[in-house]
Amino acid sequence: MTERMRTRLKVWLVVMGVFALGCITGASLDGAYRLRVGGERREMRGSGRRSSGEVLEKMRRDLSLNDNQATEIGRILEQTHTEYRSLRAEVRPRYDRIRQSARTQIRSLLTPEQQKVFDAKAAERDARHKDDGR
């Protein structure tokens, strides 16, 4: 194996390593982010997840809650929803910086032609996630 081939192999392995780490990081952060998405947004996306109101109604049935308990639990669920939104707003910029850093690193290893394709794919993904409410 020539020195040039070894260098190309190393570059390819670095690109694939960075890509894999980016995928793992993105999937992990996306999973954490989805756990914190509020009930109304879940309903709007039609994801099959239950809203706070549906959770409350299920608790009311399963636990035979009285009206006072249901009111208090509803208040707690709404407060939790607000806290999740706040946390999501705090975490989002950090998530975006990590994603952008990975993209920049990957992009620096690509040819100009590959960069164009990579940028287009990244823009498509960003548009899909924006439409998705992420």
Size of the chain in residues: 134
- What's this model's pTM, rounded to 2 decimal places? 0.44
Residue 132: exposed, middle, or buried by beta-carbon count in 10 A (0-12, 13-18, 19+)? exposed
Q: How far is CA 75 from CA 78, 81, 82, in A?
A: 5, 10, 11
**pLDDT digits 0-9 by tens, 75-133:** 999 999 999 989 989 999 998 999 999 999 999 999 999 999 999 999 998 888 776 55
Domain coordinates in residue numbering, the chain = 3-119
| Residues 6 or more apart in contact with residue 13 via CB below 8 angstroms | none
Share of the chain residues as helix, strand and coil, in percent rounded to the nearest 5? 85, 0, 15
